[in-house]
Structure 1
């Protein structure tokens, strides 16, 4: 996603260079915040509202997926403060975060938000006012009726009329462009994290695992006696199990069958996004997967066969489900997840 919509009424070259020379995520989240505020019908926008949107939009990738924005970026520090000192939870809804922050009168919360005022509102405009320092950008933006994207004042910005029309007409494309560039930036800071682009926005709803239950694990549990939860040791049947991602979904962000395992109902929520201990859990995980494949064998759905092929390039029969290959796939994933802040099961 590299093309921006052209308009003769704006400075297209300046817009195309807004994300040049970035060392933090601020400009990406600032622009997303402006777009979202404009979509809500606002032209004169309090900076506090945009800062609140910056935090609300960054909340999920920071808290749930443990993504790093780099050492120069303070958004994670702001979010950590809010998690530890307010009633906002790690998996909070974006709208609730935004409403809480915009309405907050807490001086410390406001202080943290306005840390973002030190750089982003004026440096975002640097493509329009090249070579100028902060005070000069503020001054020149006020004299600009349609050149720059907005006019800057102490506590507000005012989007210029031509830019307001442009943003409203192209909001979806502009957000996609910004998120794509944000993904490229974040991926460079997190080279070992898989699928960064799909970890920047909280999905409206997680995918159901009903297909995997009905077409794989229910068959196994109905035909096999004395299947035990690999974590609790309790006996499982179709009525008392949930499907768990062996390596947490919040790290791998997929539902491929080779990473799913039946666990005792209720344990999944307590495990949450904690990592399994390979020395303790891998053998049991491998054995239950292999046993299920042996039992289902030729009844295995093509969809599942294709998913096993993502690891075992020539998967045809259960004999191709190799212990060491699975270990070699999971071990670096778990190690990288641990290095990014995921905790292990106790």
Structure 2
């Protein structure tokens, strides 16, 4: 009893925020806040979200610390809960379960256990780097991924939090030491996603042999141990047959490598290795089925891994506020010219579309502004299905906040009307296929006919946006905006 209230009391004291100030921001009586802090009554999950939103207004660093402390308590018992719930993970804000999407024939429960009993950052950064490379390669199923490229990407992803904010990766972790040994000096006052290519080039020029192979290499264990959850039964059987044998880490790598090859088509581990031994491995070959799964569910998986890494780094830097803003460099946004032309063309043929927030009519001669329904800084893409036409003043007012659920039906309706209009008037236009492909693949629709079936389209939007919204809220994005 009193878990959230206890954490709230610590945060209010640390940041000098009075109970009255928080009560005023929440629009409630001060006595309610007193009951929480005194651990007489704990706020429910909906109220916790309101507390976070209120703290963000008063002091964003206090909000971040509240999230970090509150979710560190929720993490207790996570292993048992994850195993019992077959691939579920805890939404740290609500305390409820979220689930990585199931897929027939794939062991999603094993995927959800990738980070069990993790004492260093290696697995988190390795998997994040694997996702980044897959996306850059456009999820090409025929391209193996070299361990050297993965190492470079790991160093790139670790460089920003280490260099800019001096975050600790843990006592046992050697990533920071290895980065310092490369003596990278970009001499840049700021760093964003667009500079990653420059950093990759700089790192690739260095001699990385000692980081790839050898007793102290960053790649000695993680590529092998990461996929062990997929081969748990086979590993258990092997260890049972060899009970009493002296534990040998290098031998265990060899066993995992051999099992990944042997059971690649049955147990379906995430990947297998080339080479005859761990020391001779140069690359990994991902399962085509897992590549397809990751491509379809990329935002969810990336958000889940990011959250897991955030949890780990929060535990290693408990007194550092705003950790979530210090792990990932800010991305630069692309132009929305083709998307703007898409909606402009639609408005030339229909007068049924209004701004979903202000209800003002949108017409072809309107000064169109495109809003990312889920914030761009969360999804980091400009896919048409997350964009909705509005007015610039409305868009500026909304900023990076997730809109209240009252707008969701109108959001889906606008996309439905847009797709209907485009199909009726411009289905022979080559750009039609370009835009419908992202709807079909990303919303996991069966066919293009589903695009103009409102119920099927709404169901697809709902099943995609619900988990993404939960993830965004978990990562600290403000929600519930109204115009």
Q: In structure 1, what is the equivalent of residue 116 of structure 2?
A: 20
Mapped to 2, the partners of 1:26 and 1:124 lie a distance apart of 9
- In structure 2, the CA distance between the partners of 1:100 and 1:16, relative to structure 1 (3 Å rule), is same
In the alignment, is the contact (CA less than 8 A) between 2:224 and 2:256 conserved in 1?
A: yes
In the alignment, is the contact (CA less than 8 A) between 1:68 and 1:190 conserved in 2?
A: yes
Residue 148 of structure 1 aligns to a residue in which SS? coil
Mapped to 2, the partners of 1:95 and 1:72 lie a distance apart of 29
What is the alpha-carbon root mean square deviation over aligned residues?
2.1
Alignment partner of 1:142 is 2:261: yes
In the alignment, is the contact (CA less than 8 A) between 2:212 and 2:220 conserved in 1?
A: no
In the alignment, is the contact (CA less than 8 A) between 2:145 and 2:284 conserved in 1?
A: yes
Q: In structure 1, what is the equivalent of residue 225 of structure 2?
A: 123
Residue 57 of structure 1 aligns to a residue in which SS? helix
Mapped to 2, the partners of 1:95 and 1:179 lie a distance apart of 21
- CA deviations 1:63-118 (Å, max 9, x no partner) are 11111010111110111112x2x4544766322222333x43x43x3323551211
Structure 2: where are the runs of 5+ without partners? 1-90, 92-97, 240-251, 275-280, 333-483
Mapped to 1, the partners of 2:295 and 2:200 lie a distance apart of 21
Mapped to 1, the partners of 2:177 and 2:149 lie a distance apart of 19
Judge which range, 24-33 or 141-150, deviates more: 141-150
- In structure 2, the CA distance between the partners of 1:22 and 1:126, relative to structure 1 (3 Å rule), is same
Alignment partner of 1:167 is 2:167: no
Q: In structure 2, what is the equivalent of residue 51 of structure 1?
A: 151
Mapped to 1, the partners of 2:308 and 2:134 lie a distance apart of 21
More RCO (CA 8 Å, sep 6+): 1
Give 1:185's match in structure 2, choosing from 298, 306, 312: 312
In the alignment, is the contact (CA less than 8 A) between 2:211 and 2:219 conserved in 1?
A: no
- CA deviations 1:146-169 (Å, max 9, x no partner) are 410001230100001111101111
Q: In structure 1, what is the equivalent of residue 106 of structure 2?
A: 10
- Give the deviation of 1:170 after TM superposition: 1.4
- In structure 2, the CA distance between the partners of 1:68 and 1:4, relative to structure 1 (3 Å rule), is same
Judge which range, 89-98 or 10-19, deviates more: 89-98
Alignment partner of 1:66 is 2:166: yes
Mapped to 1, the partners of 2:109 and 2:187 lie a distance apart of 41
Mapped to 1, the partners of 2:131 and 2:107 lie a distance apart of 17
Q: In structure 2, what is the equivalent of residue 110 of structure 1?
A: 209
- CA deviations 1:207-264 (Å, max 9, x no partner) are xxxxxxxxxxxxxxxxxxxxxxxxxxxxxxxxxxxxxxxxxxxxxxxxxxxxxxxxxx
In the alignment, is the contact (CA less than 8 A) between 1:56 and 1:95 conserved in 2?
A: no
Mapped to 2, the partners of 1:95 and 1:36 lie a distance apart of 12
Mapped to 2, the partners of 1:204 and 1:35 lie a distance apart of 16
User: What is the aligned length?
Assistant: 201
Give 1:80's match in structure 2, choosing from 164, 180, 185: 180
Residue 272 of structure 2 aligns to a residue in which SS? strand
Superposition map of 1:191-340 within 5 A: 191-204=318-331
- Give the deviation of 1:135 after TM superposition: 0.7
- CA deviations 1:138-195 (Å, max 9, x no partner) are 0111123341000123010000111110111112211111010001111111110011
Alignment partner of 1:96 is 2:198: yes
Mapped to 1, the partners of 2:186 and 2:177 lie a distance apart of 15
